[in-house]
Amino acid sequence: MFERRAADRYHLRMHRARTVALTSDEIVEVRAAQRTFEGAYVRTALSQFSFALVVLKIFTSEFYSTGALFAIYGTGVLIIGLFRRQQGNRQFFSEVGEDGVHHHKFKTSGNAVLVLTALSVAAYATLIALTVRLGR
């Protein structure tokens, strides 16, 4: 698994790229995860920005707060996507256990999921409150 100058052979740039030799299957797995998850966050943010723009351009001024809410939500999703990308660069690592043996670890993206869940719940609760306020 470990070989000298692995980054010259495997073109994966991370903080430990020169010390880790990844097989081609592992590189494919990392790239697939990047395309899937990072692309999903960016696509979601773009769709929220698009919907906010539609609301702000088409509807009357009483819906401006709804458009602003979706713009803020899209910004939050984009920030979480950047955080997820930064965390994804460190999801494979090894540590020395109590027995002195190197153990390979994998860190999930649970932190990003929790923050996105909290942001989504807050955004939709605010949307419900704004909708109820429109009826009055």
pLDDT tens-place string over residues 107-120: 667 788 899 999 99
pLDDT at 82: 85
pLDDT at 1: 46
pLDDT tens sequence across 59-80: 888 889 999 999 999 999 999 9
Question: Which of these, 112, 44, 55, lies nearest to 78 by C-alpha position?
Answer: 44
> pLDDT band at residue 129, thresholds of 50, 70 and 90?
very high
In the chain, where the domains are located = 35-134
C-beta separation of 56 from 34 below 8 A: no
Distance between CA atoms of residues 59 and 53, nearest Å: 10
Structure tokens at 54: 């539609």
Q: Is the pLDDT of residue 90 over 90?
A: no
**Mean pLDDT score of the chain, rounded to an integer?**
79
Distance between CA atoms of residues 61 and 51, nearest Å: 16
Does the model's pTM come out above 0.85?
no
Could you list the beta-strand ranges (E) of the chain: 92-96, 102-106
116 vs 21 pLDDT, higher one? 116
Q: Which amino acid is at 56?
A: L
